Each structure stands twice: as C-alpha cells, then as structure tokens.
C-alpha cells in the first residue's frame, strides 16, 4: 500500500489556508464587533446580560448610560464612582464613533450625530437587520429578551453577529 503523503499534505495545507482566510474575512466583516476586552467592564456589564461590544453605540450613549445606572432600563445597576469612571473610559474609547468606528460605522446609519440612543435594539440598522425574525421567535423560552444575542448568534460572545 502506497500512502500518498504528498497529496495528503497538500490537501491539509489548502484546508488550513482556507480556514485562515475565512476567519480573517469574518473578523473584518460587517457582523463583527470586538467583544469587551477590559475585565472590569466585562464583569460589571456582563453579570446580568451579555457585555455588549462598545462599538455598538456612540460615545455619547455610553456616557449617558453610565451616568444613569441607578435606573438602568428599570434596574438598579449602580457601581461606585471609581468603577464607573474606569468603565466609562473604556466604553467611550472604543465606541462606534471613536476607537470602534471601523466596526460600528454601519450600525450607526440613521443615528443623528448628536443623538445618544440607549437601546441597541432601537437603532434603525438593528431593526432593519432583524425584521425577518418572527415575533414568535422572540417569545421563545430560550430567547426571552432582545438583549439575549447569544440565543441566536451563537458566537456573539466572541464578537460574531452574523445571520444564523
């Protein structure tokens, strides 16, 4: 039996290269939002819901949200001042109209420059992207809330929000 080592090696190389190229394409695509890389922000913002990527809202939104944590969509999410200052800085630095512009630009379409929207799920582009999702799916037991991105976007925690 003559094992075609060279063919196998060539095949594996092609598969490997394709995987690398696809990964890069995905990471640069419209549906990639870098996940929160700051541990304090990930811990504090990720304890009740997914820690949403900072590039999903403009800096003015994050500033306003961080100043109103006592009533965070009806919940008390307040943190001490020093913690709030550190988290605000991270979110603002990586927001859709600052450090995260390259990723958040498209999602900001239709958002006025001086606006500070608070709900990602009310951004015009978000609504447009999700208009094909039937009402029944939002009510599904495993979804429960529009803030539960990973229920459908299984790779959301790694930054990928492509259609599933």
Partner 1 sequence: MTTTRDAIGFLCALGLAPAVFAGPPDSLLQGYAAAAKAEDPGHAAFSATRGETLYRTEHRGGKPDTPACTACHGQDARASGKTRTGKPIEPMAASAAPERYRDAAKVEKWFKRNCNEVLGRECTPREKGDWLAYMTSQ
Residue with tokens 């990471």: 27
Using CA atoms, how far apart are residues 100 and 98, in angstroms rounded to an integer? 6
Cβ contacts of 148-156, under 8 Å, gap ≥ 24: 148/49, 148/50, 149/50, 149/52, 150/50, 156/50
Examine residue 84 and tell whether it contacts partner 1 (CB under 8 A).
no
CB of 86 to partner 1, least distance (A): 15
Q: Residue 78 is encoded by which pair of tokens?
A: 């307040």
Segment contacting partner 1 by CB under 8 A, of 18-26, 29-37, 73-81, 128-136: 73-81
3 state SS of 121: helix
Binding partner 1 by CB under 8 A: which of 26, 49, 86, 101? 49
The CB-of-156 to partner 1 minimum distance in angstroms stands at 11
**Is residue 50 near partner 1 by the rule CB under 8 A?**
yes
38/36 Cα distance (integer angstroms): 6
Q: What is the Cα–Cα distance from 107 to 96, expressed in whole angstroms?
A: 8
45 binds partner 1 (CB under 8 A): no
Question: Does 151 sit near partner 1 (CB under 8 A)?
Answer: yes
Closest distance between partner 1 and the C-beta of residue 138, in Å? Answer: 11
Please say which residue, 18 or 145, places its beta carbon nearer to partner 1: 145
Nearer to partner 1, 30 or 71 (CB): 71
d(CA 55, CA 72) in angstroms, rounded, equals 19
- Among residues 89, 148, 155, 160, the one that binds partner 1 under rule CB under 8 A: 148
Applying CB under 8 A, which residues contact partner 1? 46, 48-50, 74-79, 142-145, 147-148, 151
């Amino acid at each position: 039996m003559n094992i075609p080592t060279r063919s196998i090696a060539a095949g594996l190389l092609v598969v490997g290269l394709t995987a690398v190229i696809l990964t890069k394409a995905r990471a640069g695509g419209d549906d990639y939002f870098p996940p929160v890389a700051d541990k304090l922000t990930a811990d504090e913002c990720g304890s009740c819901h997914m820690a949403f990527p900072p590039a999903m809202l403009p800096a003015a939104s994050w500033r306003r949200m961080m100043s109103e944590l006592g009533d965070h969509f009806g919940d008390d999410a307040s943190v001490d001042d020093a913690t709030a200052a550190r988290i605000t800085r991270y979110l603002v630095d990586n927001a859709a109209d600052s450090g995260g512009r390259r990723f958040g630009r498209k999602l900001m379409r239709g958002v006025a420059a001086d606006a500070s929207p608070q709900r990602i799920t009310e951004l015009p582009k978000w609504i447009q992207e999700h208009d094909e999702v039937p009402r029944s799916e939002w009510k599904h037991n495993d979804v429960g809330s529009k803030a539960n991105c990973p229920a459908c976007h299984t790779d959301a925690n790694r930054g990928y929000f492509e259609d599933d």
